[in-house]
Structure 1
Amino acid sequence: MSSNLGEELEVFFHIYDGRENRPLSERFFVRLNKNGVPKSPEKTERQCTLFVDLGSSDLRKDVYIVVHIMRIGRMGAGEKKNLCSIQYRRPFGCAVVSIADLLTADSKDDHLLKVYACTTESEWYQIHENIIRKVNSRYNLSGSNTGLAVSLQLLHGDIEQLRREYMVLFTRGVSITKKLGFSDIIMPGEMRNDLYMTLEKGEFEKGGKSVARNVEITVYVLDIEGQVMKSYVAAGSGEPGGDEYHSFVLYHNNSPRWAEQIKLPIPVDMFRGSHVRFEFRHCSTKDKGEKKLFGYSFVHLMQEDGRTLPDGTHELIIHKCEENANLQDSSCYLKLPFSKANLPGNNQAVKGTKECFWITSFLCSTKLTQNGDMLDLLKWRAHPERINDSLLKLKEIDGSEIVKFLQDTLDTLFGILDESSQRYGLKVFDCLVHIINLLQDSKFHHFKPVMDTYIESHFAGALSYRDLIKVLKWYVDRIVDAEHQDHIQQVLNVSVCS
């Protein structure tokens, strides 16, 4: 990075879909020192990454590598040192490069990217969109001597194939930056439990001040005991996770928009009872440079029935608080309402308040679900009275949710069959027919190897075939029943395919 700034920098890379205006990957995070070079040059995995799990549909000319750069220093770039000793994360610049050239290149491609700054700081959240659309009035060059040097290369194949063909790359050290979502194939035994949260925007009151606030958010993840979970808040791949995360600060802005993504790789067994707390502080630019707490929001990660926080945007309530000590015992506030969406109808005082904070959440998990019907099926032993309904509802569950939990779903079906084949045999058989037919769909065609691997390596119900053959015979005996011809045809198609 070439610049005359003289401050440390944080550089964030991600893959961005220009057609749908959304990120395709999590962020890759690199720290630069005051000279503009990586702070840990001996650790190549902190300056080199591999964006993985991108499919052919993700590799288009309107897909970009977007770079956001934050400076670590005083509120205003170039301020005198004696004004304030506290440092803030502040927006500095943005660079964008299309992957179009990479699609035809055979080797590594070196780029010196131009770095642009916002004309108006409040529009920082969409600077990359303005650059892509060439809305020139919204941004300008951050300096004639400012540029970011990067090397890019497109590698084809799965991760194991790349490890064999590019051994030097992996031996030297490279971080893995994941796709926001799953790859085309999820193999049995693959584990992932990543919760992504985007700090979207806030609406704040002046709080008795003559000018707007300088708002900083501090993010913590707390467990069921109310203790801060260590190392589970990540700004991006490339750097280890921390105990907390500090947002960047927009100067004098009571309606800040951050659009800042963080990753919470919380283990499955620690999800229940955990919550995320967002603390809001005004950052003074006076001599002491205090960060004064004025409020907080929180959100539960799992509902009482075991479903996780739904994907999407959540409008959170900002509770007023000026003393850090008041937040030490989380049980004091966890009984309060946290979202405007689930407020009781008579709570007009909170509903009418102007102050609000928005986040967007997205869970990428092979073990947790947001679907209540899927959850009932997977937890059939806890609610045996629901087995019948759960088996009937399987066909209504979105196919992508079924294939995501394919191994667990198959284990469940064969477990129910072993428990009572006489009572549930026919319905389990119908569910298996539905799943196998689902895998014939071109959308889920890639999941066939998952079924093959399950049969070869993970199938636990070795005697189940006897019960299934009985059901198949039951269908064959009724092949002349015109009323059920379509369903019997499905069964026979599956039998032939299998």
Structure 2
Amino acid sequence: LSGTLPKDERLQLKKEVTGKIDYGNKILALDLVVRDEDENILDPDRTSVISLFQAHARAACTVTERIQEETSPQLSALGRSARLAASPSHSLYLCVRNFVCNIGEEAQLFMALYDPGEQRMISHIPAWCCWCPSHMAPVLPQDLGSKDLKRERLFLVCQIIRVGRMDLRDTYSRKLSTGLRRPFGISVMDITDITKGKCESDEDKQHFIPVHLAAADNDFLHNMIRKAVEGKDINHKGQGFWVSLKMLWGDLGQVRKDHPHLVDRSTVVARKLGYPEVIMPGKRGDVRNDIYLTLVQGEFDKGNKKTQKNVEVTVCVCDEAGSVVQNVIYHGAGDKPVSEYRSVVYYQQRHQRWMETVKIAVPIEDVHKTHLSTLQLPPCLSLPAKDKSERIFSMAFVKLMRADGTTLRDGEHDLVLYKGDSRRLEDASAYLTLPSTRNLSEPKLLSGSSFRMSSGASGLTVSARDSFQISTLVCSTKLTQNINLLGLLKWRSKPSLLTGNLQKLMNVDGGEVIKFLQDTLDALFSIMMENSDTDVYDTLVFDALV
């Protein structure tokens, strides 16, 4: 192995092997072999008696502690806590063994790790559609850091969405709307003790998670999760999930090395919604360019109708010409990409609250010319595709990159809803020059349901009684939201501003620099090399490096 493994990995492997040898010798009541710091056997002819005694005492103590840890539950828990504290990265092995529920139609299952304190998902776990045993591939939510494990409570949640008719009591007919995504129920399980190492986790042990069924057609899944987290036992009638959970320590490479029987090529890796606590600069696995979009809520006026509209939101990514960018939206980790996402439909609600998250992965070179487009339309999917555009009653959009070259800011965005002719709503040239978000300082219009944009030939009107909010989170190691850092990375485009950009770099948060450390160092050293004939930037570059 001396020619195939790096020195540190070889030493770690020697420690593991010799540790097992010493452990076996102790169990078999054989002689204890004393070793040095590099796990080499000490030569008694070249080692003093005192050094031999000290090495023997250390080895005996280590083996004894290991035996006590494995035989005592309390010490075993302390050992797990010590391993948790020592490792900067953690993963949770999840395998769904079985799912039993009387749904009556095709279903989609969306799992995530949920923090009830923040009332949000922290990990994007795969979505399973058309459930059958062959689809139950194990999943590995990774990038969980010490802060995640110190959360007061952490839950595994699953949202169950029925795909089919608006009402299960409806009979199939030619005019019936089908293919609708309707809320069915949720499942929650408190996994705090497992993630904190307070109880032993075993991949062979199965946990039952009951299903909380939606009591009414207007039960929002997100609200059901909050109620289930605080709720008591329910009469689930045997309906629910059987899952296996095991806490794994180390990064993905270490986990695959230590648990090859659990983590193989079929295992789906689910990244954290956000950056890991430890980012390895230049490491291939840490190169990301993901945008997480959450449909938060919306409020839609019924207008002249007696009842509220049934609203379905369609999300797609479009280029400057308005053409849909194909296969860049992911329902869940490991899922196949799609070109559009359709929201859950809630029955006749003025205020809609979805809290549905999807991942958008646009190639880095195309981000500057793409935008998100959301269409609000009544769910009537039995119509031919050519009639779909006739059903659009409003639309909203937001560009993925701002005018200054930085990416879309993280957080919630209150989008402007436009109404008009369906063809104009799908024409990018008609709306891309219009504002996409509302200014919070502007008072909300109350008179009238819409107003026409002034001095424009767009033919679109802005709805004043309707509102629509989304939330975005950018996880990219190539596209920054910091204008000062961007100025340095793009220094060749404006060399006259280089001095100011180098000075501003020292005010950029260190965590932001770490995300782009390799690109930042490349830029700094390029500045030094390309300006080697002058010392104007030497001090500034040196201060930035320090």
The TM-score with structure 2 as length reference comes to: 0.72
SS at match of 2:329: coil
Taking the aligned partners of 2:522 and 2:181, their CA distance within structure 1 comes to: 48
1:226 touches 1:330 (CA, 8 Å); kept in 2? Answer: yes
Rate the CA distance shift 1:313–1:106 in 2: closer, same or farther, 3 A: closer
Taking the aligned partners of 1:382 and 1:347, their CA distance within structure 2 comes to: 42
Farther off after superposition, 203-212 or 111-120: 111-120
The equivalent position to 1:154 in structure 2, one of 232, 247, 254, is 247
Tell me whether 1:19 sits opposite 2:111 in the alignment.
Answer: no
Taking the aligned partners of 1:147 and 1:106, their CA distance within structure 2 comes to: 20
Taking the aligned partners of 2:544 and 2:473, their CA distance within structure 1 comes to: 29
The equivalent position to 1:131 in structure 2, one of 228, 237, 247, is 228
Equivalent position of 1:163 in the other structure? 256
Tell me whether 1:293 sits opposite 2:392 in the alignment.
Answer: yes
| Counterpart residue identity of residue 202, structure 2 | S
| Counterpart residue identity of residue 428, structure 2 | S
Rate the CA distance shift 1:18–1:74 in 2: closer, same or farther, 3 A: same
SS at match of 1:277: strand
Structure 1 residue runs of 5 or longer lacking an equivalent are 434-498
| Counterpart residue identity of residue 266, structure 1 | V
Tell me how far 1:180 sits from its aligned partner.
1.0
Taking the aligned partners of 1:180 and 1:186, their CA distance within structure 2 comes to: 17
Q: Show the 5 A alignment for 1:299-448.
A: 299-321=398-420, 323=422, 325-341=423-439, 349=451, 353-420=464-531, 421-433=534-546
Tell me how far 1:79 sits from its aligned partner.
2.7
Tell me how far 1:94 sits from its aligned partner.
0.9
Farther off after superposition, 70-79 or 162-171: 162-171
Rate the CA distance shift 1:107–1:347 in 2: closer, same or farther, 3 A: closer
Tell me whether 1:71 sits opposite 2:162 in the alignment.
Answer: yes
Give per-residue Cα distances to partners, 1:108-127, cap 9 Å, x unaligned: 13122111134453443222
Equivalent position of 2:126 in the other structure? 28
SS at match of 1:26: strand
Equivalenced residue count is: 420
Give per-residue Cα distances to partners, 1:394-418, cap 9 Å, x unaligned: 1211121111111111111122222
| Counterpart residue identity of residue 281, structure 2 | M
Equivalent position of 1:466 in the other structure? none
SS at match of 1:155: strand
Q: Identity of aligned pairs, percent?
A: 35
SS at match of 2:339: coil
Taking the aligned partners of 1:432 and 1:172, their CA distance within structure 2 comes to: 40
Taking the aligned partners of 2:314 and 2:219, their CA distance within structure 1 comes to: 20
Give the RMSD, CA atoms, in angstroms. Answer: 2.8
Tell me whether 1:107 sits opposite 2:202 in the alignment.
Answer: yes
Flag as ranges the 4+ runs of structure 1 deviating above 6 A: 285-291, 342-348
Rate the CA distance shift 1:302–1:172 in 2: closer, same or farther, 3 A: closer
Tell me how far 1:288 sits from its aligned partner.
11
Give per-residue Cα distances to partners, 1:220-271, cap 9 Å, x unaligned: 1012343211110111113201011100100001210101001101111110
| Counterpart residue identity of residue 424, structure 1 | Y
The TM-score with structure 1 as length reference comes to: 0.78
1:296 touches 1:321 (CA, 8 Å); kept in 2? Answer: no
Taking the aligned partners of 1:32 and 1:383, their CA distance within structure 2 comes to: 53
Taking the aligned partners of 1:264 and 1:373, their CA distance within structure 2 comes to: 25
Taking the aligned partners of 2:292 and 2:316, their CA distance within structure 1 comes to: 14
Tell me how far 1:173 sits from its aligned partner.
0.6
Farther off after superposition, 95-104 or 117-126: 117-126
Rate the CA distance shift 1:209–1:27 in 2: closer, same or farther, 3 A: farther
Give per-residue Cα distances to partners, 1:78-115, cap 9 Å, x unaligned: 33233725221011111111223423324213122111
| Structure with larger Rg | 2
Taking the aligned partners of 2:445 and 2:484, their CA distance within structure 1 comes to: 31
Tell me how far 1:48 sits from its aligned partner.
1.9
Taking the aligned partners of 2:442 and 2:224, their CA distance within structure 1 comes to: 38
Rate the CA distance shift 1:286–1:402 in 2: closer, same or farther, 3 A: closer
Give per-residue Cα distances to partners, 1:287-323, cap 9 Å, x unaligned: 9999722111111011122111111110001111453
Taking the aligned partners of 1:300 and 1:71, their CA distance within structure 2 comes to: 32
Farther off after superposition, 288-297 or 262-271: 288-297
1:213 touches 1:283 (CA, 8 Å); kept in 2? Answer: no
| Counterpart residue identity of residue 298, structure 1 | F
The equivalent position to 2:171 in structure 1, one of 80, 85, 92, is 80
Rate the CA distance shift 1:285–1:329 in 2: closer, same or farther, 3 A: closer
| Counterpart residue identity of residue 182, structure 2 | R
Equivalent position of 1:478 in the other structure? none
Taking the aligned partners of 2:269 and 2:380, their CA distance within structure 1 comes to: 38
Rate the CA distance shift 1:286–1:308 in 2: closer, same or farther, 3 A: closer
| Counterpart residue identity of residue 126, structure 1 | N
